[in-house]
Amino acid sequence: MTLHQLTIAQAAALLKNKEISSVELTRAVLDRIEAVDGKVDAYLTVDTNGALAQAKEADQRLADGTADTLTGIPLGIKDLMCTKGLRTTCASKILENFIPPYDATVITHLKKAGAVLVGKLNMDEFAMGSTNEHSGFKVTRNPWNLERIPGGSSGGSAAAVAADMCLGALGSDTGGSIRQPASHCGVVGIKPTYGRVSRFGLVAFASSLDQIGPLGKSVTDCALMLDAIAGHDPRDSTSVNEPVPVFADIPDGDLSDVVVGIPEEYTNAKGLDPQVDAAVKKAIATIESLGARTITVALPHTEHAVAAYYVIAPSEASSNLARYDGVKYGFRDKSQTDLMEMYRNTRSQGFGPEVQRRIILGTYALSAGYYDAYYGKASQIRTLIRNDFQKAFESCDAIVSPVAPTPAYPIGATLNDPLTMYLSDVFTLSANLAGIPGISVPCGFSDEGMPIGLQIMGRHFGEAMLFRIARGFEAAAGIQDKKPTLE
Ligand code: GLN
One domain for residues 38 and 185: yes
Ligand 1 atom with the smallest distance to the CA of 173 is 8
In 290-328, where does DSSP find H-type helix?
A: 305-320
Query: Which residue, 378, 403, 421, sits at the end of a domain?
Result: 378
Computed over its alpha carbons, how large is the radius of gyration of the chain? Answer: 21
| CATH number (domain holding residue 210) | 3.90.1300.10
One domain for residues 90 and 17: yes
Per-residue pLDDT of 351-383, as tens digits, reads: 999 999 999 999 999 998 999 999 999 999 999
Query: Which residue, 363, 378, 393, sits at the end of a domain?
Result: 378
One domain for residues 215 and 359: no
One domain for residues 67 and 203: yes
Burial 120-143 (b: 16+ CB within 10 A, else e): bbbbbbbbbbbbbbbbbbebbbbb
Q: How far is the CA of 175 from the centre of ligand 1 (A)?
A: 5
* pLDDT of 270 higher than 90: no
d(CA 22, CA 54): 9
One domain for residues 356 and 238: no
Per-residue pLDDT of 434-447, as tens digits, reads: 999 999 999 999 99
Whole-number Cα distances in Å, 396 to 259, 387, 406, 424: 5, 14, 27, 26
In a domain, 261, yes or no: no
User: 413 falls in which pLDDT band (50, 70, 90)?
Assistant: very high
In a domain, 278, yes or no: no
In a domain, 439, yes or no: no
Could you confirm whether 335 is annotated as catalytic? Answer: no
Per-residue pLDDT of 172-209, as tens digits, reads: 999 999 999 999 999 999 999 999 999 999 999 999 99
Contact 51, 74 (CB under 8 A): yes
In a domain, 472, yes or no: yes
Half-sphere exposure of 75 (CA within 13 A, CB side): 34
- Total tally of structural domains belonging to the chain: 2
What residues contact 364, with CB distance under 8 A and at least 6 apart?
Answer: 370, 374
Per-residue pLDDT of 73-97, as tens digits, reads: 999 999 999 999 999 999 999 999 9
One domain for residues 180 and 55: yes
> DSSP letter at 274?
H
- Selected catalytic residue, list 21, 78, 120, 191: 78
Q: How far is the CA of 279 from the centre of ligand 1 (A)?
A: 24
Q: How far is the CA of 309 from the centre of ligand 1 (A)?
A: 9
Query: Which residue, 338, 356, 378, sits at the end of a domain?
Result: 378
Could you confirm whether 440 is annotated as catalytic? Answer: no
Q: pLDDT value at position 487?
A: 64
One domain for residues 314 and 198: no
Q: pLDDT value at position 113?
A: 98
Mean pLDDT of 410-433: 95
Ligand 1 atom with the smallest distance to the CA of 205 is 9
Contact 218, 7 (CB under 8 A): yes
d(CA 455, CA 279): 12
One domain for residues 348 and 229: no
Closest CA to ligand 1's atom 5: 175
Q: Find the residues whose C-beta lies inside 6 A of ligand 1.
A: 127-130, 153, 173-177, 205, 313, 425
- By the 10 Å C-beta count (0-12 exposed, 13-18 middle, 19+ buried), 335 is classed as exposed
Q: pLDDT > 70: what percent of the chain?
A: 99
In a domain, 394, yes or no: no
Mutate to test the pocket of ligand 1, among 125, 130, 133 (most ligand atoms within 8 A of CB): 130
Q: At what angle do helices 48-64 and 22-40 cross, to 10 degrees?
A: 150
Neighbours of 342 (CB within 10 A): 18
In a domain, 196, yes or no: yes
One domain for residues 26 and 136: yes
AA letter at 306: V
Residue-number span of the structural domain to which 249 is assigned? 3-253+462-477
One domain for residues 236 and 109: yes
Ligand 1 atom with the smallest distance to the CA of 206 is 9
In a domain, 62, yes or no: yes
How big, in percent rounded to 5, are the helix, strand and coil portions of the chain? 40, 15, 45
> DSSP letter at 10?
H
Ligand 1 atom with the smallest distance to the CA of 424 is 1
Residue with the larger pLDDT of the pair 337 and 395: 395
